[in-house]
A and B are shown apart, each in its own frame.
Chain A
Amino acid sequence: MAQAQAHSGPMVTADGVPLKTSLRRAERRRKITAFMLVVPLLAFILLTFIAPIGDMLWRSVDNPAIINTLPNTVTALEDWDGEELPPEEAFAAMVEDLRVGQENRSIGQVGIRLNYEMSGARSLFSRTARNADSLEPPYKEALLDAHRRWGDVETWRLIKREGRPYTASYYLSAVDMRYADDGSVAMQPENQRIYVALFMRTLALSLAITVLTLLLGFPIAYLLATLPLRYSNLLMIMVLLPFWTSLLVRTTAWIVLLQQQGVINDLLVAVGLIGDDGRLTMMHNWIGTIVAMTHILLPFMVLPLYSVMKTIPPSYQRAARSLGANPFVAFVRVYLPQTVSGIGAGAILVFIISIGYYITPALVGGQSGQLISNLIADHMQRTLNWGLAAALGSILLGGVLILYWLYNRIVGIDNMKLG
């Protein structure tokens, strides 16, 4: 140091490099080392997890079926104004596309895709395509003879609208809307609206579960935080045992308890509270979903509450008492405000987990206890409308990410406690 100060000009290291440069270099090297340690996992997560999520988001707008299978028709309809039936060229292009599509068996995709928007489209395409080879010009008359729906302007408007490579129609379906015949956006008819109601039900059930876990979790978290450690450690096992028990085991346990011939009903009949023919239906409806999920998610509420309550000195409440507050006032005005961050963390955590829950509602929820994720699975596996499943999933994902951002503001990822 003394030597460096003796010289005028910048400080240099032993090998003559200015100290600033040398430090910056060392800093950069350390940054790179730290980053290199993270790279393997980062690459792994990007490939095995982020890419699949991206794929799902992509599928919610991707719309390849029509533009790939009916390229000539899409081109022919480009200048069509959509007022009356398209000109002969469009019909000819359609017959051409149908022939090719029938040959390479891709026409079914178009039928399935358009059937989501217009019922009957599937049979329209498969039937006409089967006989496409025998059609003779003029194709307009030929197609109109083959199937009357070729004479509907709506059919052609639909093809023109969905002939674009991307579509918003999955998202519209996911919020109970659709394109009206004239291309404007309108609500689905009353009797076909299901998704908004289901999103609302998912939110309502999740909220109910969050409130219930808070009501049940707060007292025991307070007890655990205020008891001497040797007792609270023992009681903590009773919280951790369900936490570590397999999800399916806990769901099975609730089936054993709740079903019509189950333990609770047997007990009530044995005690004489209900008759044998008056057994309660507590499963395969929303009661089952709420009870089982409250049980399953209760530890997620207790643990963050406990970790916050553990840090609150008991002397604060005693001080309030000594200043004349009665126990209730001391609790509400002194203790409760200090637990707010724990309540927030626990509530958002439980809410985030429950709005995406799948297994338990599927097994004990019945019809009225289904959540949005059950419908996503249904579209994935049964109706095979993957675009709609992806759109519903993307909306759910958006909601969860917003909640997670809130959670992060309240507790921070680094403070997340496990076990």
Chain B
Amino acid sequence: MALPSYASPLERTWYYSYRVICGLIFFFLVAPILVMIPLSFNAQPYFSYTTEMLTLQPEGYSLRWYEEFFNSSAWVTSIRNSVIIAFASTFLATCLGTLAALGLSRSHMPFRGLIMGLLISPMIVPLIISAAGMFFFYSQIGLAQTFPGVILAHTALGTPFVVITVTATLTGFDHTLTRASASLGAPPQTTFFKVILPLITPGVISGALFAFITSFDEVVIVLFVAGVEQRTIPREMWSGIREQISPTILAVATILVLISIALLTVLELLRRRNERMRGLSPS
């Protein structure tokens, strides 16, 4: 990609203008998120930069919106609800998804395409349709406006990610290892916990992270299936944006950005570990 020494002036111009264009697109990707973060420290209840903020005077900045966030019972409850729902549904999705991926990656799996299609469908169907269906169905069987209802719905949404990531990890899996383990007398569960699981852990964890973020960030299902008792952080943000717009939302948003940076880091480390284990370490 480096510019060769024989490049014509036109090529040179294009080379640099191409880089500038790319720089602008990267700016478009990241800037909106970065612009928002300082505003969460705004001393004024506005969504725009005040002169005090621009001249970097300390009185232009404050932590009042963070204070308000942690002192508001509605927000604190929503954190609790989000954590309960996300962890429970991640746990369920990871167990069910890993088990299914083990079956799907076997060459003897009957009706593989059809079953895969069904298992992936929660990821394909637009959320509003899933939400509408679940709203009708869950209220008939008494699951609407309950924690189990929201958890089951989020589990269904999270499992495709676990199935996909674990199946992908298993495609590089050396099946002679399980046969070796069996020939040495290990029962299937020992083979699973001692041989298979350690090797596919990166896939399982990244699937679990996807399931977690899916649930943690989900709001459409919550809007339709959850009641007041199950309001999650995104649900509070939704009504915050629609009803009483205040920079508290920006404080929440900043905290969520930090959480996603943490998740992204974990995922990147996992990816590198996975590549190392397959002997594909990045040069």
Q: Is the CB of B125 within 8 A of A400?
A: yes
Q: Pick the contact of A238 from B29, B126, B171 — CB < 8 Å?
A: B29
User: Does B116 reach chain A (CB closer than 8 Å)?
Assistant: yes
Q: Is the CB of A245 within 8 A of B47?
A: no
Q: Is the CB of B234 within 8 A of A246?
A: yes
Q: Is the CB of A38 within 8 A of B26?
A: no
Name the A residues within 8 Å of B35 (CB-CB): 253, 256-257, 263
With contact pairs A37-B99, A241-B260, A257-B35 given, residues A247 and B219 touching in the complex (Cβ less than 8 Å): yes
Q: Pick the contact of A240 from B109, B135, B264 — CB < 8 Å?
A: B264
Q: Pick the contact of A41 from B132, B163, B168 — CB < 8 Å?
A: B163
Q: Is the CB of B124 within 8 A of A51?
A: no
Residue of B nearest to A54 (CB): B133
User: Does A185 reach chain B (CB closer than 8 Å)?
Assistant: no
Q: Pick the contact of A31 from B28, B110, B140 — CB < 8 Å?
A: B110
Interface residue tally on A, bucketed by range:
35 or more
Q: Is the CB of A244 within 8 A of B263?
A: yes
Name the A residues within 8 Å of B125 (CB-CB): 53, 356, 397, 400
User: Does B25 reach chain A (CB closer than 8 Å)?
Assistant: yes
Number of A-B residue pairs with CB-CB distance less than 8 Å in the complex they form: 275
Chain A, interface SS category: helix
With contact pairs A50-B118, A244-B213, A252-B36 given, residues A239 and B29 touching in the complex (Cβ less than 8 Å): yes
Name the A residues within 8 Å of B224 (CB-CB): 380-381
Name the B residues within 8 Å of A397 (CB-CB): 125-126, 129
User: Does B187 reach chain A (CB closer than 8 Å)?
Assistant: no
Interface residue tally on B, bucketed by range:
35 or more
Q: Is the CB of B103 within 8 A of A37?
A: yes
User: Does B68 reach chain A (CB closer than 8 Å)?
Assistant: no
Q: Contact string, B23-54, partner A, CB cutoff 8 A, digits 1/0?
A: 00110111011011001000000111100000
A215 vs B46: C-alpha distance in the bound complex, in angstroms? 34
User: Does A46 reach chain B (CB closer than 8 Å)?
Assistant: yes
Q: Pick the contact of B127 from A229, A246, A253, A356 — CB < 8 Å?
A: A356
Name the A residues within 8 Å of B140 (CB-CB): 55
Q: Is the CB of A252 within 8 A of B97?
A: no
User: Does B79 reach chain A (CB closer than 8 Å)?
Assistant: no
With contact pairs A245-B256, A245-B257 given, residues A56 and B132 touching in the complex (Cβ less than 8 Å): yes
Q: Is the CB of B256 within 8 A of A261?
A: no
Taking the nearest CB of chain A, how far is it from the CB of B160, in angstroms?
9
Query: Of A161-169, A190-198, A216-224, which binds chain B?
Result: A216-224
User: Does A2 reach chain B (CB closer than 8 Å)?
Assistant: no
A309 vs B238: C-alpha distance in the bound complex, in angstroms? 38
User: Does B267 reach chain A (CB closer than 8 Å)?
Assistant: yes
Q: Is the CB of A241 within 8 A of B261?
A: yes
User: Does B130 reach chain A (CB closer than 8 Å)?
Assistant: yes
A140 vs B101: C-alpha distance in the bound complex, in angstroms? 67
User: Does A201 reach chain B (CB closer than 8 Å)?
Assistant: no
With contact pairs A40-B100, A250-B33 given, residues A52 and B253 touching in the complex (Cβ less than 8 Å): no
Residue of B nearest to A371 (CB): B128
A239 vs B27: C-alpha distance in the bound complex, in angstroms? 10
Q: Is the CB of A252 within 8 A of B28?
A: no
Q: Is the CB of A245 within 8 A of B260?
A: yes
Q: Is the CB of A295 within 8 A of B117?
A: no
With contact pairs A38-B104, A252-B241 given, residues A373 and B126 touching in the complex (Cβ less than 8 Å): yes
Q: Is the CB of A245 within 8 A of B33?
A: yes
With contact pairs A219-B18, A413-B120 given, residues A252 and B237 touching in the complex (Cβ less than 8 Å): yes
Q: Is the CB of A44 within 8 A of B241?
A: no
Q: Pick the contact of A223 from B22, B97, B210 — CB < 8 Å?
A: B22
Interchain Cβ contacts under 8 Å between A and B, 29 examples: A33-B106, A38-B104, A41-B97, A42-B118, A44-B159, A45-B119, A46-B118, A48-B152, A56-B132, A56-B133, A223-B19, A227-B1, A238-B26, A246-B253, A249-B253, A252-B36, A255-B241, A256-B48, A263-B48, A355-B126, A356-B126, A356-B127, A356-B128, A381-B224, A386-B136, A400-B125, A413-B164, A416-B164, A418-B161
Q: 4 more A-B contacts (CB under 8 A) besides A253-B35, A418-B161?
A: A237-B268, A241-B29, A253-B33, A261-B48
